[in-house]
A and B are shown apart, each in its own frame.
Chain A
Amino acid sequence: MAPHHDELDPVWKALANPDRRSILDLLREAELRGRAGTPTGELVMAFPGLSRFAVMQHLEVLQDANLVVARRDGRMVLNYLNAVPIRAIYERWVSRFEGQWAGALLSLKRRVESRVPSRSSAAAPRGKEHSRG
């Protein structure tokens, strides 16, 4: 099978590194405490085992994956967690099995909308097809 490249590739790459995951955790915790963005300098200090350069490189990878949004505020750069790509991964992988539910709901939808009694649903016309287009 040929390798399959898509928009989520940079996200996987970014999440593959434990230090980068720790940076995301830190940003999330800071936001939950009510912080408005975390300065890069603070992130550097939070990782005494890493050089400033290494942290900056990690931040660059996270920004390329759109997992972190950086904003300049005067002389500081503030970093924000962007949860949108994580949601994309969730929807694509974790919720795969929801397909079965979607199928069940779709037949329910057809039944309800066409107002056909359930006992004759097997032979029922499809009725209004809202899922079109």
Chain B
Amino acid sequence: MAEKVYSIDIDAPVKTVWDEVTSTGRVQRHMFDCVLDHCDPGKKYLWHDKPRKHVFVRGEIVESTPPSGNNAGRLVQTFKFTTLPDDYSLVTWDFIALGPARTKVTVTHTRLDPEGKTITRIDGGWPSILKALKSVCETGNVPLKTRLMYFMMRNMSFVLPKSTRIEQHQD
């Protein structure tokens, strides 16, 4: 099974970054404007669009340990694209404080099938997500270009396959 690592340093306190990544019930601007419905360990989660019509990623929250004091934060979740037949993979987020206002975020994506499509798609996805996360935590928003891309994506939602419909994921 293949494994990929993505890492970025952000000029913001570790708690700010943690709160952004684990925020639920509202649009996550770094995550292509998706909404995370839950972030509770042992529970299933969905990353869906704002109108709750389409689900893009689903899985289960395995661990959710907020950063505290000198201890790093960690979020572990199983991960599956609703549009791909690949099995569940595993995503581990590590949040390490490099200073009072500097944080290293590392995403380790494991249990990836080297022959599958997930591995190619995440190679485009995680760098964008981490760059957007940096921008949100440092400036409060993603760049104009990214917002325009989100706008285009929202207006193209009619091309999404049936497998993304939320009714198919409310089990």
- List the interface of chain A (C-beta within 8 A of B): 31-37, 66, 69, 71, 80-84, 86-88, 91, 95, 98, 102, 105-106, 109, 112, 130-131, 133
Contacts and interface: CB of A to CB of B under 8 A. Distances in A.
Interface stretch (B6-14, B47-55, B59-67, B79-87): B6-14
Interface residues of B, number: 27
28 contacts: A31-B4, A34-B1, A34-B2, A34-B114, A36-B3, A37-B3, A66-B8, A69-B5, A80-B4, A80-B5, A82-B6, A82-B7, A84-B6, A84-B127, A84-B130, A86-B127, A87-B127, A88-B131, A91-B131, A102-B145, A105-B151, A106-B144, A109-B148, A130-B147, A130-B151, A131-B144, A131-B147, A133-B141
Nearest to A112: B155
A131 B149 CA distance: 12
A79 B138 CA distance: 29
Contacts of A34: 1-2, 114
A102 B6 CA distance: 27
Given A35-B2, A95-B145, A131-B148, 5 more contacts: A66-B8, A82-B6, A83-B123, A105-B152, A109-B148
Nearest to B140: A133
A16 B155 CA distance: 41
B101 to A, nearest CB: 15
Contact of B9 (A33, A66, A109): A66
A97 to B, nearest CB: 12
Interface in B72-124: 106, 110, 114, 123
B96 to A, nearest CB: 12
A130 B154 CA distance: 13
A66 B7 contact: yes
Contacts of B140: 133
Contacts of A81: 5
B148 A105 contact: yes
Contacts of A84: 6-8, 126-127, 130-131
A82 to B, nearest CB: 5
Contact of A36 (B2, B128, B144): B2
